[in-house]
Amino acid sequence: MRRDPPKPGEIAFIANDRPEAQSALASLTEAFGQSEPEDARYIVALGGDGTMLEVLRDSMEHSKPVYGINCGTVGFLMNPLGEVASLPQRIGMADRAVINPLLMRATDMKGQTHEAMAINEVSLIRQTRQTARIAIKVNGETRMGQLICDGVLLSTPAGSTAYNLSAHGPILPINANLLALTPISAFRPRRWRGALLPYDAEVTFHVQDPDFRSCAATADNVEVRNVTDVTVRIEEKKRMTLLFDHGTGLEERILREQFED
């Protein structure tokens, strides 16, 4: 759907510290001005996927659409820089993807509770040379009494082509009402490949013998170390809008990922 392109002063540009991103920031702010995120119509993130995740997390409260420009490497969530002058028209014609984040509540060995949001996934990873031993509950019911592994993760459809795919988890269409529960180097049960869960499922991970087999929990790039219990669910009250150049939306990118090397 075509929308009115943003006018000068209606875009907030946020860049990481890399020279490529800073150079793009200088060119774009010279052409279109700069706005504070809370006052802008749109936010443009300059960097890689890590920058996009940070910008999305920071912009949840004011729910402004975010358009990413790739100044990094992979840039799965980003768009190419292209001609500077064409940016307002590209934003006005962009395809939109509305996604919900995961809410992680992690309790550490001191009994402290930590909360963080994840756009891609929440993962538990062993911190030592010892394998992790993790029990898994879904909606309060124990589904696996003990998973012996390097770790385990719960992924959104938007994140299913990231760490989840590297761990041999399934790619989920962006509109699928599913979450991917994927083991990381499972030792026992050796042939368990994970599970597809309803979008509204609440998953609880309990770390067994945490003094000897310590684990860290990570919501995208926010890490909590020495956890004992981690509960994860979709936060449906939070909605984020990603913008992609017309014809290259997130649904198309996820579909393409399944047919390309």
pLDDT tens column, 58-104: 888 788 999 999 997 778 889 999 899 999 999 999 999 888 999 99
Residue 68 belongs to some domain of the structure: yes
53 is in an annotated binding site: no
261 is in an annotated binding site: no
Residue 2 belongs to some domain of the structure: no
Domain that holds residue 47: 11-99+239-257
Alpha-carbon distance of 152 to 164, in angstroms, equals: 9
Can you give the pLDDT at residue 219? Answer: 96
- Same domain, residue pair 130 and 205: yes
- Same domain, residue pair 110 and 171: yes
- Same domain, residue pair 51 and 93: yes
CATH number at 250 reads 3.40.50.10330
Average pLDDT, the chain: 93
pLDDT tens column, 156-191: 998 998 999 999 999 998 888 999 999 999 999 988
- Same domain, residue pair 66 and 180: no
158 is in an annotated binding site: yes
Annotated catalytic residues are 49
Can you give the pLDDT at residue 1? Answer: 60
CA 122 from chain center: how many Å? 9
Angle at CA of residue 181, ends 164 and 217, nearest 5°: 75
Question: Which phi and psi (to 5°) does residue 217 adopt?
Answer: -110, 135
Residue 47 belongs to some domain of the structure: yes
Three-class secondary structure of residue 32 per DSSP: helix
Residue 185 carries which DSSP code?
S
- Same domain, residue pair 213 and 110: yes
150 is in an annotated binding site: yes
Per mean pLDDT, which range of 22-31, 64-73, 102-111 is the poorest?
64-73
- Same domain, residue pair 186 and 115: yes
**225 touches 109 (CB < 8 A):** no
Say whether the peptide bond before residue 8 is cis (omega within 30 degrees of 0): no
Alpha-carbon distance of 88 to 35, in angstroms, equals: 14
pLDDT above 90 for 2: no
- Same domain, residue pair 52 and 129: no
**25: β partners:** none
Can you give the pLDDT at residue 3? Answer: 81
- Same domain, residue pair 95 and 166: no
CA 113 from chain center: how many Å? 21
Q: Where are the beta strands (DSSP E) in 7-74?
A: 11-15, 42-47, 66-70
Residue 3 belongs to some domain of the structure: no
**45 touches 53 (CB < 8 A):** no
16 is in an annotated binding site: no
- The residue with tokens 């052409």 is 31
Count of structural domains within the chain: 2
- Same domain, residue pair 140 and 186: yes
- Same domain, residue pair 35 and 140: no
- Same domain, residue pair 174 and 135: yes
Alpha-carbon distance of 57 to 240, in angstroms, equals: 9
Statement: the pTM of the whole predicted model exceeds 0.75: yes
Residue 226 belongs to some domain of the structure: yes
Residue 5 belongs to some domain of the structure: no
Burial pattern 92-110, b for ≥16 Cβ within 10 A else e, equals: bebbebebbbbbbbbbbee
Q: Is the dihedral of CA 53, 46, 67, 43 positive or negative?
A: positive
pLDDT category of residue 261 using cuts at 50, 70 and 90? low
Three-class secondary structure of residue 137 per DSSP: strand
